[in-house]
């Protein structure tokens, strides 16, 4: 499924249906939706199996080669530093 379609489904099924009372509540509900969508729902691209069932039948995915490497710096820089990076910069670790 294309990223646009996933975003539309997320908006239709989660964001448009939920009134969040706080940011922590929004994070909790959105994470629950993501886990359900990525682990427990049947996907047409996986022959109508859930990702968990597909993985059980087909074994773990194996990567070809090593870790992803960027060449030429084409990836965007992060907008905000992670907690670990921020603590290191502030001399807290």
Convert the pLDDT of each residue in 43-52 to its tens digit: 888 888 888 8
The arithmetic mean of pLDDT across residues 70-83, rounded, is: 53
The single-letter DSSP state of residue 77 is: P
CA distance 47 to 43: 7
Q: What is the model's pLDDT at position 92? A: 55
Q: What is the model's pLDDT at position 31? A: 93
Q: What residue ranges do the domains of the chain occupy?
A: 8-14+29-57
Which residue in the block uniquely carries the two structure tokens 């996933």?
Answer: 6
């Amino acid at each position: 499924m294309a990223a646009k379609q996933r975003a539309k489904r997320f908006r239709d099924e989660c964001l448009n249906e939920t009134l969040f009372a706080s940011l922590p509540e929004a994070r909790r509900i959105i994470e629950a939706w993501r886990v359900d969508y990525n682990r427990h729902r049947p996907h047409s691209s996986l022959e109508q199996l859930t990702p968990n069932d597909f993985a059980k039948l087909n074994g773990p995915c194996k990567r070809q080669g090593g870790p992803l490497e960027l060449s030429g710096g084409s990836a965007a820089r992060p907008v905000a530093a992670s907690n670990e990076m921020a603590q290191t910069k502030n001399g807290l670790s």
